[in-house]
Amino acid sequence: MAVGVMYLAMLLAAGTPALAAPPLVITAEHSPPASMKVDGQVVGREGEKIREMLARAGYAYSIDVLPWKRAFTMAQRDPYTCVYSTSRTPERELQFKWVGPTDEAEWVLMGRANRKYNVHTLDDARTLRIGTYNGDARDEFLRARGFDVDGASDNAANPKKLLLDRIDLWAVGMRNNDRSALALNFDVGQIVPVLTFHHVKVYLACNPSVPDAMVERMNAALDSMRKDGTFSRLDKKYEQWQAHK
């Protein structure tokens, strides 16, 4: 018995992944082409990066696509749970342990193509009603700065609200001005970028219960993926991805 306990302690001290921690629970939102389910499997530019990183780090995990607020809340609340792609903001810094960045994004105010906007800086939008969705980093950012924000429970409702004049602008996150994901919800020609107002890096955000050693190992795996071209390969793989209704 004593020998077995001692052997287990040695394995734990050595950081053996299978014994050091339970499987990680990875959550994400449906956000093509970054993350989506195809034939029951989570794929996408970010989804594949996360899966490859976990394979290299040697950690068991489960992964699922959920509504954003649920995915984000699980990572805040549940041990050994992480969520991607999460904007790393000062408001969130101490809530999580951070693995990444896995990508970068621009925050953009979108407006109707048939309306003229006199918006050249973010402050110019203070008199306008901005659509966001609850729990999103853009929602938090704009509310904290006193903007007139109309949060929706489902981001897919915002383009419809914009076209119906229920909001003046819609705050979205886009990668390199890639609007392919937005085409899931409306005719792209009806809604156009008005102002890019912020630039962020996105991460796998992990519950503080995840040990520092695991976070370091996952970050090292991501570093190896950057160096050997895996990041570039996956980015290129999804460059021409087109959303289909």
pLDDT tens for residues 152-180? 988 889 999 999 999 999 999 988 656 55
Give residue 182's pLDDT: 54
Q: Collect all residues with Cβ–Cβ distance below 8 Å to 113 and sequence separation of at least 6.
A: 189, 190, 191, 192
Overall pTM surpassing 0.95 (yes/no): no
Q: What is the pLDDT of residues 27-86, one digit of tens each?
A: 999 988 899 999 999 999 999 999 999 999 999 999 999 999 999 999 999 999 999 999
Q: Which is more confident, 8 or 99?
A: 99
Instruction: List C-alpha distances in Å: 14 to 11, 88, 111.
Output: 5, 31, 54
State the alpha helices, DSSP H only, in 25-183.
45-57, 68-77, 137-144, 157-163
Residue 51 structure tokens: 């899966």
Which pLDDT band, with edges at 50, 70 and 90, does 13 fall under? very low
Spatial separation of the C-alpha atoms in residues 131 and 108, rounded to whole Å: 12
Is 25 a residue whose pLDDT tops 80?
Answer: yes
Give residue 187's pLDDT: 62
Q: What is the mean pLDDT of residues 3-28?
A: 58
Spatial separation of the C-alpha atoms in residues 42 and 229, rounded to whole Å: 22
State what percent of residues in the chain have pLDDT above 70.
85
187 burial class (0-12, 13-18, 19+ CB within 10 angstroms)? exposed
